[in-house]
Amino acid sequence: MRRKNNAIYIDLENIPSGLDLKMLFEELTLKHNDSPEEENIFVIKMACGNSKSIKKLEKQLAEYNFTIRDTPSITTNFKNRADLIISLEALETIIINTPVIDRYVFITSDSDFTVIMEALRKYGKEVYLVTKEMVSDKPIFNNCCDEILIIESFMPKPKSEDVKESAGPKTKREEKSDPAHTRKMDRMVEDLMKKVVESFDPDTWQLVSYVGVKFHQMDKSRMIERSSYRSLGNLLSKLEADKFIQRKLNEKGHPEIRKAQ
């Protein structure tokens, strides 16, 4: 079994206190491998922030044996050096190169980290970003990492909220906000897939698996999972029904698509 060494860095002051590290580690451990033979090992785990931000995740950080750096404010507007410290620590791993790190995971919503993320990719490293949904579609984030995970996906709802939801219907505000957000995601993934299809030769059939790879390269924050489609197959079925694409099975029985003629 091939080891994949991971380094994970948490910017404590730019993440919500409800982050569940167990859920995040399970996601990174069980998924996102190139093959079933890969085993994810977290060889570097570091968290930076001031004493107040450390406190909100201190127990979880201790359970996962994180190295914790207290970064007190150095200016009157509460600016500290967490981004610089983490960036230098990550860069140092390239210089020392022992152990060799295959994937870097940054948990933050601070765009200052895009500098080190871009630098690591120049060295051929895989870079993941775990960030808030509201900033996940920023071009600066999408252009400097290989995968974007949404922090809210790793924040379980409080039990009190579950009880409220099961006890009665949603409020008018909830009924209006959720469908609107889903429709927005639907439009975005539809437009994205159309761009992917239009980038191919219109007379050439493309394997659906290849189309999926190209789509994922553009949908790094996995908007499709937050849309009503949920999967690539459902999205393609919609575009086929709209007569935007054609589908068929090739001589080997593999599904292919092309833009409708």
Q: What's the predicted TM-score (pTM) here?
A: 0.74
pLDDT tens sequence across 157-180: 665 544 444 445 544 434 344 688
pLDDT at 79: 62
Q: How confident is the model at residue 2 (pLDDT cuts 50, 70, 90)?
A: confident
Mean pLDDT of 66-95: 84
> What is the pLDDT, as a whole number, of residue 174?
41
Domain 2-154, CATH:
3.40.50.1010
**Other beta carbons within 10 Å of 129:** 27
pLDDT of 252 strictly over 90? no
Task: Please compute the mean of the pLDDT values over residues 232-259 and round it to a whole number.
Answer: 91
Q: Does 52 score more than 60 pLDDT?
A: yes
For 246, the token pair is 């054609």
Range of 70-74, 77-81, 157-161, 195-199 with top mean pLDDT: 195-199
For residues 106 and 124, the answer to whether their CB atoms sit within 8 Å is no
User: What integer pLDDT is reported at residue 88 of this predicted model?
Assistant: 95
Question: For residues 73 and 187, which has the higher predicted lDDT (pLDDT)?
Answer: 187
Same fold: 2-154 with 172-259: no
Q: Which of 74, 125, 55, 129 is nearest to 97 (CA)?
A: 125
Cβ-contact 82, 63 below 8 angstroms:
no
| pLDDT, tens only, 4-14 | 999 999 999 88
Pinpoint the alpha helices (H) of 123-223: 139-142, 159-167, 172-198, 208-218
Where along the chain do its domains lie? 2-154, 172-259
Domain at 172-259: CATH architecture: 2-Layer Sandwich (3.30)
